[in-house]
């Protein structure tokens, strides 16, 4: 198109500038979501598209993850930070603290509306629960991963990430605690667990999802009732270290080698992942009682995937001064025990905390 007169040229330039300004204003009006990348399968790569289960995790940086999903720009103004680049089985307490501190700092920024954490699936549920306990904000925090690397046929990471950003940008996700979006479901970070290692529908809660996210729209069906985020008595801003808490597994013909070793190592609490209703083998009871007498907190949990541990049912918890984990699986009971011990070492207070969180 040829524009000859100066007036026409000025008019055309004005139209172009107005259009560009409108686009910029529209983008600025969108919620700002920060994606904190930590590695995992969602950042993984396989040798070929046929490799859905054999691949290297934590290879793709956050800028490439976001650049590969241009549809995000229609949902929110998205920026990314590479916090870690590791497989999540290698997450340590130090990683939890650093990530929690960064999430807390971002949540205080007026120009941040929501936060997404990309994470490996192996310990995703533990990180989500930790953040649920210690970050004081009503802003949406969403943890997301994938079961297949982005290089695989039918990779699930792109849609999971799109859903996570969409949920984090949603006003109706406010105040619901830390969420996990996987396979179109919106799960509570407290309740959800990885239940299978090779299917995309890997993350489930025995109490069901909070809702679904379909084509960028949230559909809610229930709300969390346990204390979390803004209603938590724990605050990452006040936590500098986490005490040593470990897990010992119950099984047939169990011996006390691990219990004794953890005691000598100086644990502050020991989570017993018992059979059935958190049962403890007869030959292990005295060793656990001895640790409790030395000041180590004993948390009785269950290795079964669903249900909850009843106090004073399989063991006289009142008599032994033990704590029961309620419906928390052993790995989440460990997270809560660590956080709770930053406030108290009183067993009755710890039991209250396990009921409330």
pLDDT in tens, 342-354: 999 999 999 999 9
The answer to whether the beta carbons of residues 118 and 43 sit under 8 Å apart is: yes
**What's the rounded Cα separation, in Å, for the pair 10 and 251?**
81
The answer to whether the beta carbons of residues 273 and 280 sit under 8 Å apart is: no
pLDDT value of position 19: 45
Angle formed at CA 258 by CA 255 and CA 263, multiple of 5 degrees: 125
**Which of these is catalytic: 38, 118, 121, 151?**
121
Question: Which residue segments constitute the domains of the chain, with CATH numbers given?
Answer: 32-231 (3.40.50.1170), 243-356 (3.40.50.40)
231 pLDDT more than 90: yes
pTM: 0.92
Q: Residue 176 to residues 36, 153, 185, 256: CA-CA distances in angstroms?
A: 20, 34, 14, 41
7 pLDDT more than 70: no
**Which of these is catalytic: 41, 137, 181, 229?**
41
Q: What does the block give as tokens for 105?
A: 């700092």
pLDDT one-digit tens code per residue, 101-127: 999 999 999 999 999 999 999 999 999
318 pLDDT more than 50: yes
Which residue ranges make up the annotated binding site for substrate?
Answer: 88, 121-122
**What's the rounded Cα separation, in Å, for the pair 7 and 306?**
74
Burial class (CB in 10 A: 0-12, 13-18, 19+), 298: buried
> In whole numbers, what is the pLDDT of the chain averaged over residues?
94
**What's the rounded Cα separation, in Å, for the pair 288 and 256?**
9
Residue 342 is classified by DSSP as T
Which residue ranges make up the annotated binding site?
Answer: 88, 121-122
Is 200 annotated as catalytic?
Answer: no
- Phi, psi angles (nearest 5°) of residue 265: -75, -10
pLDDT value of position 6: 54
pLDDT value of position 46: 93
- Phi, psi angles (nearest 5°) of residue 341: -70, -15
pLDDT one-digit tens code per residue, 250-276: 999 999 999 999 999 999 999 999 999
Q: What does the pLDDT average to over 269-297?
A: 98
pLDDT one-digit tens code per residue, 10-33: 555 454 444 445 445 555 589 999
pLDDT one-digit tens code per residue, 320-342: 999 999 999 999 999 999 999 99
**What's the rounded Cα separation, in Å, for the pair 244 and 266?**
8
Is 41 annotated as catalytic?
Answer: yes
- Whole-number percent of the chain with pLDDT over 90: 92
pLDDT value of position 11: 53
């Amino acid at each position: 198109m040829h524009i000859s007169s100066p007036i026409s040229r000025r008019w055309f330039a004005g139209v172009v500038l107005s259009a560009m300004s409108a686009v910029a204003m529209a983008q600025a009006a969108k919620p700002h979501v920060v994606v904190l990348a930590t590695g995992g399968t969602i950042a993984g790569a396989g040798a070929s598209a046929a490799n859905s289960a054999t691949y290297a995790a934590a290879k793709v940086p956050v800028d490439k993850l976001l650049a590969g999903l241009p549809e995000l720009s229609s949902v929110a103004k998205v920026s990314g930070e590479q916090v870690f680049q590791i497989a999540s089985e290698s997450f340590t307490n130090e990683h939890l603290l650093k990530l929690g501190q960064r999430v807390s700092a971002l949540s205080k920024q007026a120009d941040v509306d929501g936060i997404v954490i990309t994470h490996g699936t192996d310990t995703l549920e533990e990180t989500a629960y930790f953040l649920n306990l210690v970050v004081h904000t009503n802003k949406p925090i969403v943890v997301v991963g994938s079961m297949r690397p982005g290089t695989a046929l039918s990779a699930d990471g792109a849609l999971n990430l799109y859903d996570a950003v969409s949920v984090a940008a949603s006003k109706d996700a406010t105040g619901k605690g830390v969420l996990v979006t996987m396979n179109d479901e919106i799960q509570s970070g407290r309740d959800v667990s990885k239940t299978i290692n090779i299917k995309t529908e890997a993350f489930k809660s025995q109490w069901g999802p909070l809702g679904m996210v379909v084509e960028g729209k949230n559909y809610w069906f229930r709300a969390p009732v346990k204390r979390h985020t803004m209603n938590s008595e724990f605050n990452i801003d006040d936590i500098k270290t986490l005490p040593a808490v470990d897990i010992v597994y119950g099984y047939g013909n169990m011996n006390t080698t691990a219990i004794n070793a953890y005691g000598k190592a100086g644990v502050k609490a020991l989570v017993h992942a018992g059979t059935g209703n958190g049962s403890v083998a007869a030959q292990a009871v005295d060793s656990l009682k001895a640790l409790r007498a030395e000041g180590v907190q004993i948390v009785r949990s269950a290795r079964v995937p669903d249900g909850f541990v009843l106090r004073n049912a399989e063991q006289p918890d009142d008599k032994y001064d033990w704590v029961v984990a309620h419906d928390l699986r052993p790995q989440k009971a460990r997270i809560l025990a660590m956080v709770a011990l930053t406030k108290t070492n009183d067993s009755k207070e710890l039991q209250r905390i396990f009921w409330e969180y």
